[in-house]
A and B are shown apart, each in its own frame.
Chain A
Amino acid sequence: MAKLRIEDLKKIKESMAGTVNLRAGDQRVKITVHMGTCGIAAGARKIMNALLQKLEKSGASDIILTSSGCAGLCNHEPMITVEVRESAPVKYVKLDPEKTEKIFDEHIMKGNPVSEYALSMGSETTY
């Protein structure tokens, strides 16, 4: 029977003891994975996994990873929206885990949006 090992949970708790809970504090970046039916069918869960792995490796505590529903651009899925504080949000479209990792390294960690994968920079686009 699979059981949640309370001891493991305690270990995590102990390792956090004495440190300030940064995750609840100021967020620098918010990453939203679009997870409507369209996004899920197109592979959004793989994108979520790739981001979570990157987040874990980076050890960053000022990045929030979350999901939202269909953004109405189903043919562009899988999509994520990256919001860096005090910058315009960027929607990335037709992603795969490799593209997502590049976005994490370049945009989220270094602050350079990856325009080749972006739908638009800012809020309006003509193309």
Chain B
Amino acid sequence: MEDLSLHILDVVENSTKAGANLVEINIKEDTDKDLLQIIIQDNGRGMDPKMVKRVTDPFTTTRTTRRVGLGLSMLEQAAQETGGDLTVTSEKGIGTEIRATFQASHIDRKPFGDMGSSMISLILGNPGVDFIYKSDFDGEKTTIDTRAIKAELDGTTTISDPAVLKLLRGVFEESLRN
């Protein structure tokens, strides 16, 4: 994966495959602490403790268990390369939280890349899933909730209308300090 927004696209696809209908993506950067965090929470079917332990190991994965694979192990590697880490907490029937931490200024920290394209791909690809996107760069906050957007459109068009997506792309891109 070239950039963090591709990792996010990939890992959130896990959530939607796990049956989540609400996924929250939280990006926080604190320059004073030199800390970048990406937190992804879903209300999917969750995993048992045994699976949580194995989930970032690419070699214990099976094709029939869709919740595992290379995606998380690659995000873990990206975090560890900056001195950070990845933690997974999950409860069966409740959901899963993925927390990736990075040293923000580390030379190996991947750039965010095209967050707008990732979010739009997620929205287009998962019409039954709502997304809450929150970013906080030293207090500069952005929140986008697809439920609010759908309510505002009020059935006149859908969120997958190219005109709506174009507007959203701009907001996602603006929210990042690349």
- B70's nearest neighbour on chain A, judged by CB, is A37
Minimal Cβ-Cβ distance residue in A for B148: A4
B175, chain A: closest CB distance, angstroms: 4
Q: Which residues of A contact B70 (CB under 8 A)?
A: 37
Q: A45-B118, A68-B125 are contacts. A37–B10 as well, Cβ < 8 Å?
A: yes
B83 at the interface (CB under 8 A from A): no
Produce 1/0 per residue, B116-150, CB < 8 A to A.
01101100111100000000000011101000010
Distance of A36 Cα from B155 Cα, bound (Å): 31
Cβ-defined contact, B144 with A4, below 8 A:
yes
Cβ of A101 to closest chain B Cβ, rounded Å: 16
B124 is contacted by which of A1, A16, A56, A67 (Cβ under 8 Å)? A67
Does B164 make an interface contact (CB < 8 A)?
yes
Interface size grouping (class) on chain A: 35 or more
Please indicate the chain B residues that have their CB under 8 angstroms from the CB of A44 in the complex: 121
- Contact partner of B9 (CB less than 8 A), chosen from A10, A40, A72, is A40
**Contacting A45 at CB < 8 Å: which of B9, B66, B155, B171?**
B9
- Is B94 in the interface zone, CB < 8 Å from A? no
Pair A67/B167 contact, Cβ less than 8 Å: no
Cβ distance B145 to chain A, nearest Cβ, rounded Å:
9
What is the number of residues of chain B that contact chain A, defined by CB distance less than 8 Å? 45
> A-contacting residues of B (Cβ < 8 Å)?
1, 6, 9-10, 13, 17, 63, 66, 69-71, 74, 114, 117-118, 120-121, 124-127, 140-142, 144, 149, 152-158, 160-168, 171, 174-175
**Which residues does A use to contact B, with CB under 8 Å?**
1-6, 8-10, 12-13, 15-17, 21, 23-24, 33, 35-37, 40-41, 44-45, 48-49, 52, 55-56, 64-69, 72
Task: Give 20 new A-B contacts, CB below 8 A, not counting A9-B152, A35-B9, A69-B17.
Answer: A4-B144, A4-B168, A5-B171, A6-B152, A8-B167, A9-B164, A12-B153, A12-B163, A12-B167, A21-B156, A33-B121, A37-B69, A37-B70, A37-B74, A40-B9, A45-B118, A52-B120, A65-B124, A66-B127, A67-B121
